[in-house]
Structure 1
Amino acid sequence: MKKNYRIGLVVPSSNTTMETEIPAMLRWREQVDPELSFTFHSSRMRMKHVTKEELKAMDIESDRCAVELSDARCDALAYACLVAIMCQGPGYHMESEERLFKVTEQNGAATPVISSAGALVEGIKALGAKKVAIITPYMKPLTNQVIDYIESSGIQVTDSISLEIPDNLEVGRQDPMRLVDIVKHLDISQADAVVLSACVQMPSLDAIQIVENQIGKPVLSAAVSTVYKILKTLNLNPYVPNAGKLLSGGILSNVSSQEGKFRG
């Protein structure tokens, strides 16, 4: 008998990638484990331009989204706007996850909550990486806030590239295979791992395994990390084929985190 899991997605209104890459990875997982089945259910928060002001206003709407998705009795909720969390200061992902869990609990449907921001930090640490180089689509001031957030978590960012795309729809239109060339301009010499897309909206999935094979270092993204944390939260082996080392099935995190605290 198949085991079905309902995945709730808390999505910025202009995001067009979260609902493609996260389902794509879990569909790949279904192909190698036919006993599993995933369905996806979204609620949206208004956001058009990737500015600190719009991101903060959008984040307030996440409470409503959590209530709506808990009505559907999802097995896990994934809040996938990394920079909306990181621009609000170190450690905010824990505050956000706890608040949203309490919202679902108050709705009579306590649901574990995952944020892409927290998942990325955990994914880097699960790989044993202490230094990373990153690529973001953000304007440089927002990239700097992402760097500060990652470094506040005990991970050094050795180099970064900001593509400086302010329109969130345009971020979603980027060709993921461009990253195969863009990463060549990233100094990875001191990095233990590469974050190919520190943004769930910037497509990167098609390039993850290709770049990892080329550079010989682990390559991950905000979306890959989110799927890793979804699978762990559901007590499933974090394995997805052709999605980089983090989802190779052999990475079992012993990272001290909030995992389990917000599971109901």
Structure 2
Amino acid sequence: METEIPALFRARESVAPERFTFHSSRMRMKEVTKEQLEAMDADSTRCAAELSDAAVDVLGYACLVAIMSMGKGYHCESESKLSAVTVENGAPAPVVTSAGALVSALEILGAKRIALVAPYMKPLTKMVVEYIADQGFEVGDYTALEIPNNLDVAAHDPRNLVDTARRLDHSDADVVVLSACVQMPSLQSIEIVENELGKPVISAAVSTAHQLMRALDLPAIAPGAGTLLSGEYADVPYRGLMPTRA
């Protein structure tokens, strides 16, 4: 959240007048296990309260697998719950989860079948695949990179994803998810892979940035980030909840 999301907004600043500030509150997690993910999510209301103290205009919940580990469809519950915290704190703001944003991106792109790359261990990756399938998308081939440590996920070289994508069976996929994790960088490889495969390539970060921009009622554009942020889908309606002051 603190690397590629700001990078995407800075790319937008190169072609649009708006400027942005970024504020963070951390939920602790070191090893990407179901137990630590559940403990992390339990801390999300504290983070929402802290960020709403700054009267931010939109909140982004970065961890896709933390949401998906909490049960199918949980992104809707989380977005509603955390947005309610901002209302109670007198600074109402919409909440975008990377899990919900990825689902929205697939809907916007009209995807029916996808291929996917995730950094997680195989059981967590399977859980992510099942969560996405529950949202109405068929997941064909997928790769689990099996990186257990969260810092190692962040240190993964995004250039390696080009070869990983080449090994995917993407022949009947409408969209390729190059990184189903905001923590694992992929931005510099998105357009390389997209040009090679000849189909839309997205990531959790690109999807999240798109929905954050739309929640701000701004055209969702960022040069160098692939089809979703190319401008073709700049003005599609925001798909989340917009809170009102209590």
- The reply to whether TM is greater than 0.5 is yes
Amino acid in the other structure paired with 2:2: E
Aligned to 1:32: 15
Query: Cα deviations across residues 208-262 of structure 1 (Å, max 9, x unaligned)?
Result: 011101110100000000000001111111111110101111125468x4x2344
DSSP-derived class of the 1:38 partner: coil
Q: TM-score, normalised by structure 2?
A: 0.97
C-alpha separation in 2, matches of 1:224 and 1:85:
17
- Is the counterpart of residue 81 in structure 1 residue 63 in structure 2? yes
Deviation at 1:88, TM superposition (A): 1.2
TM-superposition CA deviations, 1:95-139 (whole Å, max 9, x none):
000000111111111111000000000001101111110000000
Task: Tell me, in whole angstroms, the C-alpha distance in 1 between the residues paired with 2:231 and 2:216.
Answer: 14
Native 8 Å contact 1:112 1:263 kept in 2: no
**TM-score scaled by length of structure 1:** 0.90
Trace 1:17-28 onto structure 2 (pairs within 5 A).
18-28=1-11
Q: Considering only aligned residues, what root-mean-square deviation do their CA atoms show, in Å?
A: 1.2
Alignment of 1:46-195 (within 5 A): 46-195=28-177
| In 2: Cα distance, 1:194 partner to 1:180 partner | 12
* Alpha-carbon distance between aligned partners in 1 of 2:20 and 2:174, rounded to the nearest angstrom: 32
**Does 2:189 correspond to 1:207?**
yes
- CA distance in 2 between partners of 1:227 and 1:71 (Å): 22
1:184 Cα deviation from its structure 2 partner: 1.0
SS of 2:25 mapped into structure 1: strand
1-side partners of 2:138 and 2:237: how far apart?
Answer: 19
Q: Which residue of 2 is the match for residue 9 of structure 1?
A: none
Opposite residue 54 of structure 2, the aligned amino acid is A
Contact 1:139/1:163, CA 8 A, preserved across alignment: yes
Residue pair 1:113, 1:262 contacting (<8 A) in 2 also: no
Cα separation, partners in 2 of 1:152 and 1:253, compared to 1, 3 Å: farther
What is the total number of aligned residue pairs between the two structures? 244
Alpha-carbon distance in structure 2 between the residues aligned to 1:236 and 1:212: 25
> SS of 2:22's equivalent?
strand
Relative to structure 1, the CA distance from residue 263 to residue 143 in structure 2 (aligned partners, 3 Å threshold; closer, same or farther) is: farther
Matched residues in 1 for 2:116 and 2:236: separation?
21
Q: Name whichever structure is richer in strand by fraction.
A: 1
- For structure 1, which runs of at least 5 residues remain unmatched after alignment? 1-17
Quote the Cα distance in structure 1 between the aligned partners of 2:123 and 2:145: 12
Gaps of 5+ in 2: none
Distance in 2 separating the partners of 1:263 and 1:157: 36
- Asked whether the equivalents of residues 162 and 193 of structure 2 are also in contact (C-alpha less than 8 Å), the reply is yes
Aligned identity (percent) is 58
Could you say what secondary structure the match of 2:14 adopts?
helix
Partner of 2:241: 260
Distance 2:97 2:140 in 1: 24
What's the offset of the Cα at 1:87? 1.1
For residue 224 of structure 1, the aligned residue among 202, 206, 209 is: 206
Task: State the alpha-carbon separation in 2 of the partners of residues 153 and 262 from structure 1.
Answer: 24
Q: Give the CA deviation at 1:23.
A: 0.3
Q: Distance in 1 between matches of 2:217 and 2:236?
A: 12
* Distance of 1:79 and 1:222 partners within structure 2: 11
What is the SS of the residue equivalent to 2:195? helix
What SS is found at the alignment partner of 1:37?
coil
Q: CA deviation at 1:263?
A: 5.8
Give the CA deviation at 1:55: 0.1
Check 1:254–1:141 CA distance in 2 against 1; reply closer, same or farther (3 A cut): same
Residue 190 of structure 1 deviates from its aligned partner by 1.3
